[in-house]
Amino acid sequence: MSKTVFHAADTRGHANHGWLNANHSFSFAGYHDPSRVHFGVLRVLNDDIVRGGTGFGKHPHDNMEIISVILDGEIGHRDSMGHEESIKTNEVQVMSAGTGIEHSEYNHLKDHPLNLLQIWLFPKRKDVEPRYDQRAFNPEDRINKLQMLVSPIDNNDEGLKIHQDAWIYRTSLEAGKSLSHTLHNAGNGVYAFVIDGSLEIEGQELNRRDALGISETAEITLNAKANSDVLLIEVPMTM
């Protein structure tokens, strides 16, 4: 029997700083809920809207796997490893902070807000050499199937590489379609986050920005009630 935890969109932590309108699926900054600190090694899932011409100034990270999924807009990135990049809609960025990095992120489009998902995972190995990568993903390649965005660095499968036995997928599931996912490892769980649409997973109805964590199972099935855009984050449940 699988174990589930439902996070409705309107139960997320929320902070509007003017330049940044952020929703937190897990405890973050000024939002703290002892029942929502993490899901396995998934520590942060922030749904951020950044006003045009603003952004995050230079700040440090260490020993965290950081993934940014750009839903709409374009972000400029600069870091202490010497990268100066632009990441656009349908692109994904990964950083292994390891022994320590500093970076800044800005929305350089003055008249267009940026919407991105920021995901932090606890790493499998600490104090690794910091690394950076990004890639564009074709939306047509996730229609009614799982598009692998992120996967473990010691695997030869697709996906941008991280130092954790975790996989991140995205799918655009059409109304009336179903899709199943078999977990890679016993002891893993899946956190399903609905970017848009309406679907049912494990008997739970999910709508826009709702999420469901599923553990103690070998497989999950998504049943789309409407055209749906979904992120699946498969992670170890123990650290």
Domain that holds residue 19: 3-236
Higher-confidence residue of 176 and 1: namely: 176
CATH number of the domain encompassing residue 199: 2.60.120.10
How many structural domains does the chain have? Answer: 1
If you average pLDDT over residues 167-181, what whole number do you get? Answer: 98
Provide, rounded to the nearest whole percent, the portion of the chain with pLDDT above 70: 100
* Closest C-alpha among 2, 13, 11 to residue 204: 2
Q: Do residues 51 and 113 lie in contact, with contact meaning Cβ atoms separated by under 8 Å?
A: yes
Q: pLDDT (tens digit, 9 = 90+) per residue, 176-205?
A: 999 999 999 999 999 999 999 999 999 999
pTM of the model: 0.97
State the Cα–Cα distance between residues 181 and 239, nearest whole angstrom: 23
Specify the 3-state DSSP secondary structure of 156.
coil
Name the DSSP letter for residue 11: G
Q: pLDDT (tens digit, 9 = 90+) per residue, 2-47?
A: 999 999 999 999 999 999 999 999 999 999 999 999 999 999 999 9
